[in-house]
Amino acid sequence: MSSVTGRARGCARGLAHGTVPAAAALDLVFAGTGGQPLWGAAAVLAVGVAAVLWPARSRPAWLTEQVRTAVPALLSLLYSGVMLVLGEPGWFGPGEVLVLLCLLFLAVRQAPGRWAVVCAVLDGLALFALPVRYFRTISLRDDDLLAALVIGLLLVGLVAGLAGYLRSLDYRRVVAVGETRRAERLAIAADLHDFVAHHVTGILVQTQVARMMADAPQHELDGVLAGIERAATEALASMRRTVGVLRDVGPEAVERRPVGDLDGIRELVDRFPGPGQRAILHHDPELPAGLPHEIQAAAYRVVQESLTNIRRHAADATDILVTLFPDADRLVVIVQDDGHGTSHLPTEAHGGGFGLVGLKERVTALDGELSAGPREGAGWEVRATLPTGLRPRAGRKN
């Protein structure tokens, strides 16, 4: 959509750059041929053409949209008024009509707030005054004058309507971009919570282990301290990345966000085990490659939140099993542990109970399902099924 709009704007700009000066020159030629004074028409056309074609990158600060669209219209009205008072015919041609229509379009499309109405009215009045300048009368009894005004009314209506429609599209696009940015910021904030909570919980657990191992040999304590250092470094890196993205959420933000995919799950599982724990990942080789990114990210969050909850609420778990396998056209993610629900973490580190709630929202938003509950005997299980959008292989049994 944006590329099409950009091409349309480029074509319109190129057409204006070629047509407006040529039409203005034609006005001056006709005025000179008819013996009309050139000073008024030349001044109006020069200011109008400059206002329409002045490049935005070199436009001075004082040449705002309201100045740009109102001054040529006022000058045209002044010229028409002077010719009417003097009782002399004043020439107008397609060049001045085109300039005023372009300025009307710019006023409705780009002028800020109420200035758009004021400048559009001035441009419309200047356009309606052109026939009066030529016929030297404002009486509507003249059929030619009335016909010219009707044509002018149609042109003004068409141009203003088109500009208003495009302005409404611009407004809707700004609103949509704002909503997208807001939604992206909320998603990034959720990512920040997920990543930092996961790492900081690991720091707490390993710090407690280090305190208990104060009298242990130095080489055993070094491994725990190295784990604390690694978790703290990763937490800081995640925070730095995420805060950097939050400063300016744009089209490139998705590329810079902390991301997770199926390959990242193995790293999560490998880094998770603490002293006396074993974490195993079963990744079904028949799981198709190239799953949609949002599905892989959701699976990563399921595993990440589940492992974080094990650290928070089941620190006594010794065996943690993460399983990924396809079931027809869905990806199944299961995280199981054998903990009894005991934890030595401070109350403040237990979380507010919103992790699984947010996770369920994320999964259901993708038309998936999430369940969590105790296993038979001991332990806890989190199960998520996510649609892959891929057809199951022929001959595979459910």
List, run by run, the mean pLDDT of 10-residue segments along the chain (398 residues): 46 62 78 68 86 86 90 90 77 83 91 91 89 67 72 88 90 78 65 63 64 62 66 64 54 49 86 83 86 83 87 84 91 92 51 63 84 86 86 44
- Predicted pLDDT of residue 255: 46
Residue 243 lies in a domain: no
DSSP bridge partners of 337: 320, 380
**HSE of 83, CA atoms in CB hemisphere, 13 A:** 27
> Could you tell me if 218 and 225 are in contact, meaning their C-beta atoms sit under 8 angstroms apart?
no
Query: β-pairing, 278-283 with 319-327?
Result: parallel
The answer for residues whose C-beta is within 8 angstroms of residue 272's C-beta and 6 or more apart is: 202, 279, 307, 320
Residue 322 lies in a domain: yes
Residue 151 lies in a domain: no
Size of the chain, expressed as the number of residues it contains: 398
- With the C-alpha atoms ordered 30, 35, 38, 40, is the resulting torsion angle positive or negative? negative
* Spatial strand order in the sheet of 380-387: 278-283, 319-327, 330-337, 380-387, 369-374
Number of domains within the chain: 2
- With the C-alpha atoms ordered 47, 53, 58, 59, is the resulting torsion angle positive or negative? positive
CA proximity to 198, closest of 351, 368, 8: 351
* Boundary (domain end) residue, out of 114, 138, 162: 138
CA proximity to 146, closest of 163, 133, 132: 132
Residue 382 lies in a domain: yes
Residue 183 lies in a domain: no
The answer for residues whose C-beta is within 8 angstroms of residue 151's C-beta and 6 or more apart is: none
CATH of the domain at 304: 3.30.565.10
**HSE of 61, CA atoms in CB hemisphere, 13 A:** 0
Residue indicated by tokens 């005025």: 31
Residue 217 lies in a domain: no
- Predicted pLDDT of residue 202: 65
> Could you tell me if 366 and 301 are in contact, meaning their C-beta atoms sit under 8 angstroms apart?
no
User: Residue 98 is part of which domain span?
Assistant: 2-138
Residue 244 lies in a domain: no
Q: What is the pLDDT of residues 160-214, one digit of tens each?
A: 999 999 999 888 888 877 776 676 566 656 666 666 666 666 666 666 666 666 6
Please tell me whether the overall predicted TM-score, pTM, comes out greater than 0.85 for this model: no
* Boundary (domain end) residue, out of 119, 138, 157: 138
* Boundary (domain end) residue, out of 121, 138, 155: 138
- Predicted pLDDT of residue 196: 64
Residue 153 lies in a domain: no
Q: How many CB atoms lie within 10 A of CB 367?
A: 11
> Could you tell me if 93 and 82 are in contact, meaning their C-beta atoms sit under 8 angstroms apart?
no
Q: Exposure of 240 by Cβ count < 10 A (0-12 exposed, 13-18 middle, 19+ buried)?
A: exposed
Alpha-carbon span 17 to 49, nearest angstrom: 9
